[in-house]
Amino acid sequence: MTTLAHAAGRSHELIREDLLRPLRSTSPLYWATLCVCLLVILWAGFAWYVQLTEGIGVAGIRRPVYWGFYIVNFVFWIGISHAGTLISAILRLTDAGWRKPVTRAAEAITVFALMIGGLFPIIHLGRAWLFYWLIPYPNERLLWPNFRSPLLWDMTAIFGYVTGSVLYLYLPLIPDLAQAAAHTGGWRAKLYRILSLGWQGSDRQWHALELAMKSMAVVILAVAVSVHSVVAFDFSMAIAPMWHSTIFAPYFVAGAIFSGIAALILAMASIRRFLHLEDYLRPMHFDNLAKLLLLMSIVWLYFTAVEHLTVWYGNEHLEIAVLNHRVAGPHAPYFWGMVVCNFVIPFILLGIRRLRTIRTAVICGVTVLIGMWLERFLIVVGTLSNPPLPAAWGDYAPSWVELSITAGTFAGMVFLYLVFVKLFPIIEIWEYEREAEG
């Protein structure tokens, strides 16, 4: 084993030392970023406090646009959550060898994005303290759950996905936690020992873990697809122009995978640079993810073209009003900006092999995230701006409260991720060691 490990370029001790290093020491830049994120989160918390005390009226949502930034962010973050579990599950089931340094970084995105995304329906409620009314239980106040409501579908789906994703992140972490417990001291060692559930490294445990991860991958794949389908149902089950569409569920799932890959590329590039893990997250990993991003960009363009062509050809006046608003009306800059961000830039930068580098993959990751956020905005706000009666048409502008809370969620994502990489090895040590052997 030693010979093989050394032949792969790194000894096991070196691998472990490298991957546990961020747990012991981090740069001043790490702490500075953490503090900035915390400040933005506190500001967002203040904005939410203002909304809770003053009422939902401080947000920019007004008739006819009663779903604004909060629902846009909800759909966006649930989409981002597909980065991890779904991509990791596909790579695990296809036994893609290059997945090993990628999976945990991806699975962590899923858990944090779901936590953030799941907050938005509660923020959108206005009276957030009544969130438990969403929980389906028979009660004394005759608020019996209506299982036909897509809102209840959402809650059930997201709850299942969060539970599954946390476990999917946690299970392969157990052997690494046992290693970390043996190589750290103080409170960390105690924490890791508790979390490793007394892992002993017996063949029974390894065998059961491998089987469990395969089984979980199959289940989580189905759940991930269903979750974003259910989010799409929030729109497509309504008889509203450009929402009531049979392709909305696959369109949303494809978009979610697309934005998820973009987020993963950004996370990996940051980890590589700031934690100095260049030897582990190699150009090959970015190249493979960039190819996936390019593929999803083409799939996204196909879905977008089909959706818009069908509406245009049908020439149904309510739908045409929304289409015109989106393509040639007030939302046209957002629409064409979305096309440039989601297709034109990735197609040029990633389609030409010579241009496909880590830097261009990161650029495309940023543009795709902007483009996908714009897509969610266009879907949510576009239809609501154009209700059937033209006299009721109106537009939407977010207030400082919505903008602050939105900024807070992005800072929250970075904050949670930074805390995670400080507490847990972001690359699977045992998987990487196995790759080094193989």
Partner 1 sequence: MKLKAKFADMGSVEAAVLALKSDGVTPEQIELFSSRPVEIKHGVLARPSRLSLFAVVGAVLNGSLATAFMYYTQLDYPLVTGGMPLTSGWATGVITFELTMAGAVAGTVIALLREGRFFRQSKDAPEQMQEDTVYLVVERAESAAQRTQEIVQQNGGRIVADWGARP
Is residue 434 near partner 1 by the rule CB under 8 A? yes
Is residue 268 near partner 1 by the rule CB under 8 A? no
Is residue 433 near partner 1 by the rule CB under 8 A? yes
- Which one of 40, 114, 216, 249 is in contact with partner 1 (CB under 8 A)? 216
- In angstroms, the CA 436 to CA 438 distance is 6
Tell me the per-residue interface mask from 355 to 394 with partner 1, x by CB under 8 A, - otherwise: ----------------------------------------
Q: Supply the DSSP string of 330-399, one letter for each residue.
A: TTHHHHHHHHIIIIIHHHHHHHSGGG-SHHHHHHHHHHHHHHHHHHHHHHHHHHHHS-SSGGG-------
Q: Which residues contact 100 (CB under 8 A, 6 or more apart)?
A: 427, 428, 431, 432, 434, 435
* Whether the Cβ atoms of residue 242 and residue 382 lie closer than 8 Å to each other: yes
Closest CB to partner 1 among 94 and 215? 215
**Chain centre to alpha carbon of residue 141:** 36
- Shortest reach from residue 182's CB to partner 1, in Å: 7
Q: Which residues within the stretch 165-184 sit at the binding site for partner 1 (CB under 8 A)?
A: 167, 171, 175, 179, 182
DSSP state of 424: S
Q: Which of 361, 200, 209 lies closest to 294 in space, CA to CA?
A: 361
- Shortest reach from residue 131's CB to partner 1, in Å: 18
* Whether the Cβ atoms of residue 383 and residue 320 lie closer than 8 Å to each other: no
- Shortest reach from residue 427's CB to partner 1, in Å: 15
Is residue 310 near partner 1 by the rule CB under 8 A? no
- Shortest reach from residue 200's CB to partner 1, in Å: 4
Closest CB to partner 1 among 209 and 366? 209
Peptide bond into 425 cis (omega under 30): no
The total of other beta-carbon atoms located within 10 Å of residue 400's CB is 12
* Whether the Cβ atoms of residue 62 and residue 396 lie closer than 8 Å to each other: yes
Is residue 132 near partner 1 by the rule CB under 8 A? no
The stretch near partner 1 (CB under 8 A) out of 222-230, 292-300, 401-409, 415-423 is 222-230
Query: Interface with partner 1 by CB under 8 A: which residues?
Result: 1-2, 5, 11-13, 136, 138, 142, 144-148, 152-153, 156-157, 159-160, 163-164, 167, 171, 175, 179, 182, 197-212, 215-216, 219-220, 222-223, 226, 230, 233, 430, 433-434, 437
